[in-house]
Structure 1
Amino acid sequence: MTGALFDPGLQPERTRLAWRRTTLTLLVGAVASTRLLAPLLGAWALAVGTAGVVACLALWSGANRRARAVDRALATGEHLPGAGPALLAVAIATASAAVLGVVVVAGGVTVLQP
């Protein structure tokens, strides 16, 4: 099967764009958390936001690396790479955001003040 032409559809491109949207959404959440968590966490809000930005950059890099590997695998007929580490990173980022959301709601802190 090496050298056989793969399905020329846009599935890999759509997947790449979906990961890009996911990463950008997490990045916006990380940056917004710095502003919104400042009344609750003080200076630690900057650490939370920075950790989120670093995680997003790592996810972006991993998604791009995986997209190139998928393109190469489709062109050469190799097995497609797994997405386990990237999915784990998204799950951890989402769970972290949920925990911080619960802390904000349970703490009764009004983060947006007129």
Structure 2
Amino acid sequence: MSASSGGEVRDAGLQPERTRLAWRRTTLTCSVVAVLALRQALRGSGSPVEVAGAAVTTLIWLAFLGVAHRRIRQLAAERPPGLSRRAALAVVACTMALAALAVAVII
């Protein structure tokens, strides 16, 4: 840190890069889960319930993808902002909804 700069200089090191990579891995994992759920729904009898499940899975995946990519772009800044409460709740809601759909498919 330089005392002559007048402001606080942040040496983030590799932390933002690690966080960005973690978001990318999580997005990939969510994509795989969505594809497997769609495959399971489409291999069934094609009932309206299965089609609705596939549609809901796709919508949840798109919502998660939007939140994750927005966060990845934010982390590219020199001083990235913290994750907003709204984004955190959206990610948790998407994760819980995919888990609930997985349980519904298994039962």
**TM-score normalized with structure 2 length:** 0.71
For structure 2, the 5+ residue unaligned runs are 1-5
The residue identity in structure 2 corresponding to 1:43 is V
1:72 aligns with 2:72: no
Cα shift at 1:12: 0.8
Q: Relative CO higher for 1 or 2, CA cutoff 8 Å, sep ≥ 6?
A: 1
For structure 1, the 5+ residue unaligned runs are 74-79, 107-114
Percentage of pairs with the same residue: 40
Counterpart pick for 2:68 among 60, 68, 74 = 60
Counterpart pick for 2:55 among 41, 47, 51 = 47
2-side partners of 1:8 and 1:66: how far apart? 14
How many residues are matched? 97
Q: Which runs of 4+ in 1 moved over 6 A?
A: none
Contact 2:16 2:75 in 1 (8 A): yes
1:82 aligns with 2:82: yes
- CA gap of 1:22–1:103, structure 2 versus 1, over 3 A, is same
After superposition, the C-alpha distances for 1:63-93 in whole angstroms (9 at most, x for unaligned) are 123213xx332xxxxxx52213332222111
**TM-score normalized with structure 1 length:** 0.68
After superposition, the C-alpha distances for 1:2-52 in whole angstroms (9 at most, x for unaligned) are 3x5422510110011111111111111112211113427332233123213
Please give the residue correspondences for 1:23-38 in structure 2 after superposition, counting only pairs within 5 Å.
23-38=27-42
1-side partners of 2:56 and 2:18: how far apart? 30
Cα shift at 1:102: 2.2
